[in-house]
Every structure is written in structure tokens, then in C-alpha cells.
Amino acid sequence: MKTKEVAVIWRKLAPSFQGLGLAIKGKFVFISPIDDFVRGVYFEEAFDSTAFYLRVLFLPLFVPQECISFIHGDRIGNDLEWTMENPNLVDNLRDVIQTQALPFLERVSTLPGVIACVKKDVESDWPRYNSHHLEELAYIYAKSGEYSASSECLRHLIRDLEKDTIPWIVSQRERAQLIETKLLENPQMALDQLDQWKRQTIISLGFEKHEKGVNP
């Protein structure tokens, strides 16, 4: 599915979701303005050029990112319906966004809701876990003022990544070590660092005009 096809579909759907602050960038329809997280639905590519997957997701922006990742969230609806050849496509999309996407996005609209979601992702794979999940959980704890829980996650993550030499894992470990050090010295320094990373991510993803507090 091409970006321009997503734009056409969204123009037909948008009147049904007025007042929610939804905006579109490429194949991503998201809630604007954004702050610490971006939340929305993504029209994900499928093998068939006329088809797609619909994915609901949220993304913590204070973890450095260069693209929209699918770490949190899931595909929704009936995949067989997500094709440009479906005469009821717009109606089907409207129903699924209302009944599946919006309730999920509402659940992760607050820090406690995000913590519950990310913590569930971490615990579902424990003792094996996705290091991205644990890194995010550590930073989210810090954002919520739970500094001891944040430090515990960081210590666990740093220990488990200690011997890895893969470049992206080394970068992840170094970020964790930096936040751990700043938390011990002064939690505000850690929060300032997370805000710096958030700003960098917003710029990398091209969301500057949708940032909270920025006039359109």
C-alpha cells in the first residue's frame, strides 16, 4: 500500500474522528499534540501491494529512535479485510479503530497506563526479555518519579548487556549507564537527559510541529 492511498483512506475516515486531535504523517495516523509518547495506528505494508496490516501502537519518545518501531501494540482487525479491493474497507476500518484502537490508546494515555503495559511486556518473557522493553520501563519509572524501580531495571539491564559487543547493544548499555549515573547524582539530571533524547527523537521522526506547546 502506498502512502498516497493511506492519505485517501484517511480523508474518508477523518470526519468520524473529529475532536480527537488525530493527524497523519506518511502511513501513521497519530494523536496530536505529542509529549513523552506518540500513540496511533499504522498502515503496515503487506506482501500484496493492494493489502496492508493495521497496527495500533505507542512509542516512548525519550528513548532515541530513528523510525517508528512496532515494539508496543499489535495488529488489529481481520487481516483479510485490509485490502484496497474490499468495498467495505472504510466502514471496516472505522469500526475497528473505534472498538479496538481507541480503547488501547486510551489505556496508554497516562504514565501509570504505560507502565502497566510495558511491565506486562517485560514480565511475559521473563527471565528472557526484550532489552528494549526493560530500557523503556526503566526510563518510564524515572519519568514517574519511581527512581528506585528505575535504578533496579537499569542495573539488571547493564549486567545482562555487559559482555555484548554488537554496536546497537553497546549504545543501549551506554545509555542505561548514563541514566543510572545521573539518577544517583541527581534525578533531575536524568530527567533532563531523557528530555534531550525526546527532543532528538521528535526531530528525527519529523514531529516537530506536533510537539506539545508548539504552535501549529
Can you give the pLDDT of all 216 residues of the chain as single tens digits? Answer: 899 999 999 999 999 999 899 999 999 999 999 999 999 999 999 988 899 999 999 999 999 999 999 989 999 999 889 999 999 999 999 999 999 999 999 999 999 999 999 999 898 878 888 999 999 999 999 999 999 999 999 999 999 999 899 999 999 999 999 999 999 999 999 999 999 999 999 999 999 999 987 655
CA 105 → CA 31, 73, 126, distances in Å?
9, 9, 25
Task: Provide the edge-to-edge strand list for the sheet that holds 52-60.
Answer: 22-25, 28-31, 37-45, 52-60, 73-75
The pTM is what?
Answer: 0.91
Q: For position 118, what pLDDT does the model report? A: 94
Q: For position 128, what pLDDT does the model report? A: 83
DSSP 3-state percent helix, strand, coil across the chain (nearest 5): 55, 15, 30
Rg (CA), the chain: 19
Q: For position 198, what pLDDT does the model report? A: 97
Please state, in angstroms and rounded to a whole number, the distance separating the CA atoms of residues 42 and 84: 16
Residue tagged 479491493 (cell numbers) = 85
CA 200 → CA 5, 64, 195, 196, distances in Å?
29, 7, 9, 6
Domain boundaries, the chain: 3-107, 111-185
Q: For position 216, what pLDDT does the model report? A: 54
Would you state the cell numbers that stand for residue 144, as one nine-digit string? 514517574
Question: What's the angle, vertex CA 63, arms to CA 181 and CA 65, rounded to 5?
Answer: 140
Would you state the cell numbers that stand for residue 13, as one nine-digit string? 475516515
Residue 149: count other Cβ atoms within 10 Å of its Cβ. 17
Quote the distance between the C-alpha of residue 9 and its chain's center: 23
